[in-house]
């Protein structure tokens, strides 16, 4: 058998085109992998935030907003800012919003509820109902300007006084009512300033808190706001995690 071998030099233009094609394919594959990795990373961050706050991306959330204690039918402007912070959170998670006043009745059903404001002076009576039903270990002292413990929080034998404009506290609790499929998040500050500070703090620090809490399904936190005259609502930190005491009968 006689074999026929044909030899010749490759066309330089074909080599250039081949190298260009290989480079393009490599760039497209690399870019695709980077895009997929970035997308997965963003989705993980969204899912972690959604899990902490108890919402499902794309669902409807309910905000129950307390009123000013001395002005029925109106909300304090800092509580409105708190609602705006929650609206920004909902927007980041592609959720719709329904806003109701503090005298809202009924179950939150399949909607995650954010209940903003304390029960003092009937500012948000729904908050008072949530606390009575699910957080019996929390006591909020009534408003009384003649007493040093006015609006103080008491949990586990510890009292957290309200020092207006200097040092204040907010209680944040998450739980799922027995008749609901989605949780309630109560944001109960000693003042509207404390409400705003609490949600601002949670939006920035949720990932750190999620790593420290025994469970993100049910928790109760005390948040301290200090140096208010200088830093307003921006200087907030976790004072204590009081879940075991707050939910205990």
| pLDDT tens digits, 87-131 | 999 999 999 999 999 889 999 999 999 999 999 888 999 999 999
CA–CA dist 144, 181 (Å, integer): 38
Q: What is the pLDDT of residue 30?
A: 65
- The per-residue pLDDT for 121 is 83
Q: What is the pLDDT of residue 2?
A: 45
In sequence order, which residues have a C-beta less than 8 Å from that of residue 112 and are 6 or more positions away? 53, 54, 55, 56, 59, 61, 62, 182, 183, 184, 185
Whether the pTM exceeds 0.85: the reply is: no
pLDDT of residue 205: 94
pLDDT score, position 43: 61
Domains of the chain: 54-247 (3.30.379.10)
Q: Which residues of the chain have pLDDT under 50?
A: 1-7, 35
Tell me the three state secondary structure of residue 181: coil
């Amino acid at each position: 058998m006689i074999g026929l071998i044909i030899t010749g030099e490759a066309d330089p233009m074909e080599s250039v085109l081949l190298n260009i094609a290989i480079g393009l394919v490599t760039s497209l594959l690399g870019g695709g992998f980077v895009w997929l990795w970035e997308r997965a990373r963003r989705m993980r961050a969204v899912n972690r935030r959604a899990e902490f706050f108890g919402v499902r991306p794309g669902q409807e959330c309910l905000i129950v907003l307390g009123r000013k204690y001395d002005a029925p039918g109106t909300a304090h402007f800092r509580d409105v800012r708190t609602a705006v912070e929650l609206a920004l959170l909902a927007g980041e998670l592609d959720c719709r919003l329904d806003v109701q006043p503090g005298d809202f009745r009924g179950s939150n059903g399949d909607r995650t509820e954010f209940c903003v404001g304390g029960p003092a002076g009937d500012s948000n009576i729904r908050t008072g109902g949530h606390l009575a039903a699910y957080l019996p270990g929390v006591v909020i002292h009534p408003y009384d300007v003649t007493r040093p413990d006015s609006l103080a929080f008491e949990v586990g034998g510890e009292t957290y006084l309200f020092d207006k404009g200097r040092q204040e506290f907010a209680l944040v609790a998450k739980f799922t009512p027995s008749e609901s499929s989605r949780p309630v998040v109560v944001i109960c500050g000693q003042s509207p300033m404390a409400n705003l500070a609490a949600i601002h703090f949670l939006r920035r620090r949720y990932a750190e808190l999620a790593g420290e809490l025994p469970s993100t399904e049910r928790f109760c936190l005390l948040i301290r706001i200090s140096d208010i005259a200088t830093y307003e609502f921006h200087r907030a930190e976790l004072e204590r995690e009081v879940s075991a005491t707050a939910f205990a009968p």
